[in-house]
């Protein structure tokens, strides 16, 4: 079997089998060359121009490395070549449905990128190749792995507590941004992965040896630092809020069609916005004239569910932005609310092989008196996630008034706007 080799700045040589190389050459995959991995973070970290294309190759490479290590395990031969190839291809194609500028459009209600991947994998040239090489059920099996819904023993490598996607993007993002926060011990983590028997079903699954838990802690620390300093950096979130608003306005005006969003590249969507829905915000993004912080507060200082409507209900958030603009004597679109979509620093459901052989499931409940990763993860999350208001001109906003607004329920806020009452002066 001939193997192609691609040079990668992070992992050096990435070896590609003929099937992977053929899939990479499809138009659907080649689009990823022009979709930045970190969206608008390059406006803050100039080196952050790496693409989803590079990340997909890196994840595929880690899948090959991990599966080669699994060959030493007794259960490996029970998996079969077919199962291993499915995992490798799922690693390669896991981001094929990504929107331009990373996850931003999912925050305004666009279909999750894993669902967008379905017609790309289960249709067109990719589907033809997969069915020819791996059988008629291959596209659906690969989609199930990407969505975390597969019963494959190797599911944990593609979507799970310690999937290979995380290992590549944390290392690659830190490397390209020029920061040290994501310097996780990938070799240690991969070598700690193993095949174990699920104590509930007796079936082989991806797990971790107990000695690897310290490396898992380093993954948690790295993810927290990257969210706090890169992914949720205030200027990155300002640019992201601006981009979300201009796309949402274009969708509402009919200048963009939600069904076509996933076909754009980063530059393609900006060009289309300039042509179909001209806006000062697009030009401001082009020139890096970012909106300024008028208010910010970490989630740790708010009530547990405060402000979640800002993250979950974009239509209501836009209505509040318009109301705030009027109250502050600014133009529509000059006030933006931002509260990143709720995520988990470390979602835990992991089989761990103890030093004496027992296999135990580590979940969000943790191990009493021993493993405090879940609690630590939640504390990190609440200190990394910030509620902010960005404005085009630099102005001051009553901080207490914003906190009162955030503590109101979505229904209360909706009724107040419907009644034409101010949202800041809540008395």
- What are the b/e assignments for 112-121, b being 16+ CB within 10 Å? ebbebbbebb
In the chain, % helix, strand, coil (3-state, to 5) comes to 55, 10, 35
CA distances from 226 to 48, 58, 231, 317, 364 (A): 13, 18, 6, 26, 22
Domain termination site, one of 232, 260, 287: 232
The string of pLDDT tens digits covering residues 165-222 is 999 999 999 999 999 876 788 999 999 999 999 998 888 899 999 988 888 888 888 8
Report yes or no on 68 lying in a domain.
yes
Residue with tokens 């659906």: 140
Range of the domain at 238: 234-339+384-418
Give the three-state DSSP class for 128. helix
CB-based burial of residue 238 (10 Å sphere; 0-12 exposed, 13-18 middle, 19+ buried)?
Answer: buried
The string of pLDDT tens digits covering residues 36-71 is 999 999 999 999 999 999 999 999 999 999 999 998
Query: Above pLDDT 70, what percent of the chain?
Result: 96
Report yes or no on 227 lying in a domain.
yes
- H or E stretch including 293? strand 292-298
The answer on pLDDT for 427 being more than 70 is no
Instruction: Say if residue 28 is in the same domain as residue 96.
Output: yes
Give the three-state DSSP class for 1. coil
Domain termination site, one of 200, 232, 264: 232
> Cα separation of 185 and 112, whole Å?
30
Report yes or no on 120 lying in a domain.
yes
Instruction: Say if residue 202 is in the same domain as residue 263.
Output: no
Instruction: Say if residue 153 is in the same domain as residue 293.
Output: no
Q: Could you tell me if 423 and 413 are in contact, meaning their C-beta atoms sit under 8 angstroms apart?
A: yes
Instruction: Say if residue 246 is in the same domain as residue 332.
Output: yes
Report yes or no on 106 lying in a domain.
yes
Measured in degrees and rounded to the nearest 5, phi and psi for residue 330 equal: -120, 170
List helix spans (H) across 71-135: 76-79, 81-93, 113-121, 124-134
Report yes or no on 107 lying in a domain.
yes
Residue with tokens 């990394």: 384
- Tell me, what CATH number does 253's domain have? 1.20.1250
Kindly tell me the sign of the dihedral angle through the C-alpha atoms of 251, 252, 254, 257. Answer: positive
The answer on pLDDT for 350 being more than 90 is no
Helix 164-177 and helix 52-70, axial crossing angle in degrees, nearest 10:
130
The structure tokens listed for 126 are 């990719």
The structure tokens listed for 187 are 């070799």
Instruction: Say if residue 22 is in the same domain as residue 119.
Output: yes
Instruction: Say if residue 241 is in the same domain as residue 210.
Output: no
Instruction: Say if residue 85 is in the same domain as residue 161.
Output: yes
Instruction: Say if residue 76 is in the same domain as residue 117.
Output: yes
Identify the residue with better confidence: 379 or 26. 26
Instruction: For residue 263, name the pLDDT band (cuts at 50, 70, 90).
Output: very high
Report yes or no on 362 lying in a domain.
no
> Cα separation of 66 and 29, whole Å?
23
- CA-nearest of 98, 80, 84 to 169 is 98
pLDDT, residue 182, reads: 67
> Cα separation of 319 and 420, whole Å?
11
Q: Could you tell me if 424 and 327 are in contact, meaning their C-beta atoms sit under 8 angstroms apart?
A: yes
What would you report as the CA-atom Rg of the chain, rounded to the nearest whole angstrom?
23
Identify the residue with better confidence: 266 or 356. 266
Report yes or no on 368 lying in a domain.
no
Total domains present in the chain: 2
Instruction: Say if residue 215 is in the same domain as residue 260.
Output: no
> Cα separation of 152 and 28, whole Å?
25
How crowded is residue 67: how many other Cβ atoms within 10 Å of its Cβ? 19
pLDDT, residue 373, reads: 66
- CA-nearest of 127, 108, 133 to 317 is 108
Give the three-state DSSP class for 45. coil
Instruction: Say if residue 198 is in the same domain as residue 318.
Output: no
Residue-by-residue DSSP string for 171-204: HHHHHHHT-STT---HHHHHHHEEEEE-TTT--E
CA distances from 215 to 76, 159, 173, 267, 310 (A): 24, 18, 19, 38, 35
The string of pLDDT tens digits covering residues 305-347 is 899 999 999 999 999 999 999 999 999 999 999 999 877 666 6
> Per DSSP, what are the bridge partners of residue 425?
none
Residue with tokens 């995520």: 343
- Tell me, what CATH number does 149's domain have? 1.10.3210.10
The answer on pLDDT for 420 being more than 70 is yes
The structure tokens listed for 348 are 């835990």
Instruction: Say if residue 290 is in the same domain as residue 217.
Output: no
Residue with tokens 């104590």: 199
Report yes or no on 372 lying in a domain.
no
Q: What is the mean pLDDT of the chain?
A: 91
Instruction: Say if residue 410 is in the same domain as residue 330.
Output: yes
Instruction: For residue 367, name the pLDDT band (cuts at 50, 70, 90).
Output: low
| pLDDT average, residue stretch 395-417 | 93
Domain termination site, one of 192, 214, 232: 232
């Amino acid at each position: 079997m001939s193997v192609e080799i691609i040079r990668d700045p992070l992992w050096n040589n990435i070896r590609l089998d003929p099937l992977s190389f053929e899939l990479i050459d499809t138009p659907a995959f080649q689009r990823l060359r022009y979709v930045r991995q970190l969206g608008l973070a390059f406006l803050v970290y100039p080196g952050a121009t790496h693409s989803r294309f590079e990340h997909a190759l890196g994840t595929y490479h880690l899948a090959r490395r991990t599966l080669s290590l699994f060959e030493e395990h007794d259960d490996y031969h029970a998996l079969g070549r077919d199962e291993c190839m499915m995992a490798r291809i799922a690693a390669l194609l896991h981001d094929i449905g990504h929107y331009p500028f990373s996850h931003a459009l999912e925050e305004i209600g666009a279909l999750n990128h894993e669902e967008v991947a379905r017609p790309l994998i289960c249709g067109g040239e990719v589907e033809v190749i997969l069915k020819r090489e791996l059988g008629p059920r291959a596209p659906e099996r690969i989609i199930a792995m990407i969505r975390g819904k597969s019963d494959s023993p190797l599911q944990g490598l593609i979507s799970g507590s310690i999937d290979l996607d995380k290992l590549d993007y944390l290392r690659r993002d830190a490397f390209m941004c020029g920061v040290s926060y994501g310097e996780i011990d990938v070799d240690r983590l991969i070598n700690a992965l193993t095949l174990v028997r699920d104590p509930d079903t007796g079936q082989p699954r991806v797990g971790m040896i107990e000695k690897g838990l310290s490396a898992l802690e380093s993954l948690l620390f790295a993810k927290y630092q990257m969210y706090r300093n890169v992914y949720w950096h205030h200027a990155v979130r300002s640019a992201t809020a601006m981009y979300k608003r201009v796309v949402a306005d274009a969708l509402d005006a009919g200048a963009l069609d939600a069904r076509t969003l996933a076909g754009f590249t980063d530059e393609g969507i900006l060009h289309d916005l300039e042509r179909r829905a001209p806006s000062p915000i697009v030009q401001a993004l082009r020139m890096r004239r970012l909106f300024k912080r008028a208010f910010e507060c970490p989630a740790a200082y708010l009530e547990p569910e405060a402000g979640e409507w800002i993250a979950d209900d974009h239509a209501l958030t836009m209505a509040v932005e318009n109301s705030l603009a009027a109250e502050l004597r600014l133009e529509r679109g000059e006030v933006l609310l931002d509260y990143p979509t709720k995520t988990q620093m470390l979602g835990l459901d992991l089989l761990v092989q103890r030093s004496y052989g027992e296999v135990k499931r580590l979940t969000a409940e943790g191990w009493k008196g021993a493993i405090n990763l879940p609690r630590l993860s939640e504390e990190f999350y609440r200190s990394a996630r910030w509620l902010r208001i960005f404005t085009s001109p630099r102005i001051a906003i009553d901080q207490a008034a914003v906190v009162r607004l955030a503590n109101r329920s979505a229904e209360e806020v909706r009724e107040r706007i419907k009644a034409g009452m101010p949202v800041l002066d809540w008395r």
